[in-house]
Chains A and B, each alone.
Chain A
Protein backbone atom coordinates (compact mmCIF):
# COMPACT_ATOMS: atom_id res chain seq x y z
CA UNK A 1 0.00 0.00 0.00
CA UNK A 2 2.78 2.41 0.94
CA UNK A 3 4.65 1.75 -2.31
CA UNK A 4 1.46 2.16 -4.34
CA UNK A 5 0.60 5.49 -2.73
CA UNK A 6 4.10 6.88 -3.13
CA UNK A 7 4.20 5.65 -6.75
CA UNK A 8 0.87 7.41 -7.36
CA UNK A 9 2.19 10.66 -5.95
CA UNK A 10 5.33 10.36 -8.08
CA UNK A 11 3.26 9.68 -11.20
CA UNK A 12 1.26 12.82 -10.53
CA UNK A 13 4.40 14.82 -9.98
CA UNK A 14 5.86 13.59 -13.27
CA UNK A 15 2.61 14.66 -14.92
CA UNK A 16 3.21 18.08 -13.45
CA UNK A 17 6.62 18.29 -15.07
CA UNK A 18 5.13 17.38 -18.44
CA UNK A 19 2.52 20.12 -18.02
CA UNK A 20 5.25 22.57 -17.14
CA UNK A 21 7.21 21.81 -20.31
CA UNK A 22 4.16 21.75 -22.56
CA UNK A 23 2.87 25.09 -21.32
CA UNK A 24 6.16 26.73 -22.16
CA UNK A 25 5.98 25.34 -25.67
CA UNK A 26 8.10 22.25 -25.11
CA UNK A 27 11.28 24.30 -25.03
CA UNK A 28 10.34 26.41 -28.05
CA UNK A 29 10.98 30.06 -27.43
CA UNK A 30 7.88 32.24 -27.73
CA UNK A 31 9.71 35.56 -27.78
CA UNK A 32 10.87 37.46 -30.83
CA UNK A 33 12.83 40.39 -29.42
CA UNK A 34 15.24 40.92 -26.55
CA UNK A 35 12.70 42.50 -24.22
CA UNK A 36 10.19 39.70 -24.77
CA UNK A 37 12.93 37.09 -24.29
CA UNK A 38 14.07 38.54 -20.98
CA UNK A 39 10.42 38.72 -19.89
CA UNK A 40 10.02 35.05 -20.82
CA UNK A 41 13.23 34.18 -18.93
CA UNK A 42 11.84 35.94 -15.87
CA UNK A 43 8.64 33.92 -16.28
CA UNK A 44 10.66 30.69 -16.25
CA UNK A 45 12.44 31.98 -13.14
CA UNK A 46 9.14 32.90 -11.42
CA UNK A 47 7.58 29.50 -12.06
CA UNK A 48 10.78 27.80 -10.85
CA UNK A 49 10.53 29.80 -7.63
CA UNK A 50 7.07 28.26 -7.08
CA UNK A 51 8.70 24.82 -7.32
CA UNK A 52 11.51 25.89 -4.97
CA UNK A 53 8.96 27.05 -2.41
CA UNK A 54 7.04 23.79 -2.71
CA UNK A 55 10.26 21.96 -1.84
CA UNK A 56 10.96 24.37 1.02
CA UNK A 57 7.49 23.63 2.45
CA UNK A 58 8.20 19.88 2.82
CA UNK A 59 8.90 18.38 6.26
CA UNK A 60 12.54 18.62 7.27
CA UNK A 61 14.69 15.49 6.83
CA UNK A 62 15.19 13.13 8.54
CA UNK A 63 11.74 12.59 10.02
CA UNK A 64 10.92 9.33 8.28
CA UNK A 65 8.89 11.15 5.66
CA UNK A 66 9.10 9.60 2.18
CA UNK A 67 9.66 13.06 0.69
CA UNK A 68 11.42 15.71 2.74
CA UNK A 69 13.58 18.81 2.42
CA UNK A 70 17.21 19.26 3.26
CA UNK A 71 17.75 22.63 4.99
CA UNK A 72 21.16 23.11 3.37
CA UNK A 73 19.56 22.57 -0.05
CA UNK A 74 16.93 25.23 0.67
CA UNK A 75 19.68 27.69 1.59
CA UNK A 76 21.65 26.81 -1.55
CA UNK A 77 18.58 27.24 -3.77
CA UNK A 78 17.80 30.57 -2.10
CA UNK A 79 21.35 31.75 -2.74
CA UNK A 80 21.13 30.63 -6.38
CA UNK A 81 17.79 32.43 -6.71
CA UNK A 82 19.35 35.70 -5.53
CA UNK A 83 22.20 35.38 -8.04
CA UNK A 84 19.79 34.61 -10.87
CA UNK A 85 17.46 37.47 -9.90
CA UNK A 86 20.32 39.99 -9.89
CA UNK A 87 21.38 38.93 -13.38
CA UNK A 88 17.82 38.90 -14.68
CA UNK A 89 17.12 42.37 -13.29
CA UNK A 90 20.27 43.73 -14.92
CA UNK A 91 19.33 42.18 -18.26
CA UNK A 92 15.75 43.46 -17.88
CA UNK A 93 17.00 47.02 -17.40
CA UNK A 94 19.46 46.77 -20.27
CA UNK A 95 16.96 45.49 -22.86
CA UNK A 96 14.38 48.08 -21.82
CA UNK A 97 16.33 51.29 -22.34
CA UNK A 98 18.83 51.08 -19.48
CA UNK A 99 22.47 52.09 -19.75
CA UNK A 100 25.63 50.07 -19.21
CA UNK A 101 27.44 50.43 -15.84
CA UNK A 102 29.81 52.94 -17.52
CA UNK A 103 26.87 55.08 -18.59
CA UNK A 104 27.09 54.14 -22.26
CA UNK A 105 24.14 53.09 -24.37
CA UNK A 106 24.32 49.34 -25.06
CA UNK A 107 24.86 48.19 -28.62
CA UNK A 108 22.43 45.81 -30.34
CA UNK A 109 24.93 42.99 -29.78
CA UNK A 110 25.15 43.76 -26.05
CA UNK A 111 21.35 43.81 -25.76
CA UNK A 112 21.16 40.49 -27.56
CA UNK A 113 23.86 39.06 -25.26
CA UNK A 114 21.93 40.27 -22.20
CA UNK A 115 18.86 38.38 -23.39
CA UNK A 116 20.93 35.25 -24.00
CA UNK A 117 22.49 35.48 -20.53
CA UNK A 118 19.04 35.98 -18.96
CA UNK A 119 17.75 32.82 -20.64
CA UNK A 120 20.79 30.87 -19.40
CA UNK A 121 20.30 32.10 -15.83
CA UNK A 122 16.62 31.19 -15.84
CA UNK A 123 17.27 27.77 -17.35
CA UNK A 124 20.00 27.08 -14.80
CA UNK A 125 17.64 27.83 -11.95
CA UNK A 126 14.84 25.86 -13.60
CA UNK A 127 17.14 22.82 -13.88
CA UNK A 128 18.07 23.12 -10.21
CA UNK A 129 14.46 23.32 -9.02
CA UNK A 130 12.96 20.65 -11.29
CA UNK A 131 15.53 18.16 -9.99
CA UNK A 132 14.37 18.63 -6.40
CA UNK A 133 12.65 15.53 -4.92
CA UNK A 134 9.05 16.80 -5.09
CA UNK A 135 9.09 17.58 -8.82
Chain B
Protein backbone atom coordinates (compact mmCIF):
# COMPACT_ATOMS: atom_id res chain seq x y z
CA UNK B 1 0.00 0.00 0.00
CA UNK B 2 1.18 3.53 -0.66
CA UNK B 3 0.50 6.65 1.43
CA UNK B 4 -2.71 7.37 -0.46
CA UNK B 5 -4.06 3.99 0.62
CA UNK B 6 -3.19 4.79 4.21
CA UNK B 7 -4.78 8.23 3.89
CA UNK B 8 -7.96 6.64 2.53
CA UNK B 9 -7.95 4.11 5.37
CA UNK B 10 -7.47 6.87 7.96
CA UNK B 11 -10.26 9.00 6.46
CA UNK B 12 -12.63 6.03 6.57
CA UNK B 13 -11.60 5.31 10.17
CA UNK B 14 -12.22 8.94 11.15
CA UNK B 15 -15.65 8.92 9.46
CA UNK B 16 -16.54 5.71 11.27
CA UNK B 17 -15.40 7.14 14.61
CA UNK B 18 -17.44 10.29 14.05
CA UNK B 19 -20.51 8.18 13.28
CA UNK B 20 -19.97 6.17 16.46
CA UNK B 21 -19.51 9.32 18.52
CA UNK B 22 -22.69 10.76 17.04
CA UNK B 23 -24.64 7.55 17.71
CA UNK B 24 -23.45 7.36 21.32
CA UNK B 25 -24.14 11.07 21.88
CA UNK B 26 -27.69 10.70 20.56
CA UNK B 27 -28.48 7.89 23.00
CA UNK B 28 -26.89 9.71 25.94
CA UNK B 29 -28.72 12.91 25.09
CA UNK B 30 -32.06 11.07 24.97
CA UNK B 31 -31.43 9.42 28.34
CA UNK B 32 -30.20 12.59 30.03
CA UNK B 33 -33.15 14.63 28.74
CA UNK B 34 -35.65 12.02 29.90
CA UNK B 35 -34.17 11.82 33.39
CA UNK B 36 -33.97 15.61 33.67
CA UNK B 37 -37.64 15.88 32.63
CA UNK B 38 -38.65 13.17 35.11
CA UNK B 39 -36.81 14.90 37.93
CA UNK B 40 -38.36 18.24 37.05
CA UNK B 41 -41.79 16.61 36.98
CA UNK B 42 -41.99 15.67 40.66
CA UNK B 43 -39.15 13.16 40.42
CA UNK B 44 -41.43 10.70 38.63
CA UNK B 45 -40.37 7.43 37.02
CA UNK B 46 -39.76 7.45 33.25
CA UNK B 47 -43.06 6.86 31.48
CA UNK B 48 -43.88 3.66 29.60
CA UNK B 49 -43.46 5.55 26.30
CA UNK B 50 -40.04 6.84 27.33
CA UNK B 51 -38.98 3.35 28.39
CA UNK B 52 -40.34 1.85 25.18
CA UNK B 53 -38.36 4.36 23.09
CA UNK B 54 -35.12 3.35 24.82
CA UNK B 55 -36.00 -0.34 24.47
CA UNK B 56 -36.48 0.21 20.73
CA UNK B 57 -32.94 1.59 20.48
CA UNK B 58 -31.60 -1.38 22.44
CA UNK B 59 -33.52 -3.91 20.35
CA UNK B 60 -32.28 -2.37 17.10
CA UNK B 61 -28.67 -2.44 18.29
CA UNK B 62 -29.05 -5.99 19.64
CA UNK B 63 -30.41 -7.22 16.31
CA UNK B 64 -27.45 -5.64 14.54
CA UNK B 65 -24.98 -7.24 16.94
CA UNK B 66 -26.71 -10.63 16.65
CA UNK B 67 -26.39 -10.44 12.88
CA UNK B 68 -22.68 -9.55 13.13
CA UNK B 69 -22.11 -12.45 15.52
CA UNK B 70 -23.76 -14.81 13.06
CA UNK B 71 -26.70 -15.57 15.26
Contacts and interface: CB of A to CB of B under 8 A. Distances in A.
Interface residues of B, number: 45
Nearest to A95: B45
A47 B71 CA distance: 21
Interface in B22-51: 23-25, 27-32, 34-36, 38-39, 43, 45-46, 50-51
Interface of A: 1-2, 5-6, 8-9, 12-13, 16, 19-20, 23-25, 30-33, 35-36, 39-40, 42-43, 45-47, 49-54, 56-57, 65-67, 71, 74-75, 77-79, 81-82, 85, 92, 95-96, 134
Interface of B: 3, 6-7, 9-10, 13-14, 16-21, 23-25, 27-32, 34-36, 38-39, 43, 45-46, 50-51, 54-55, 57-58, 61-62, 64-66, 68-71
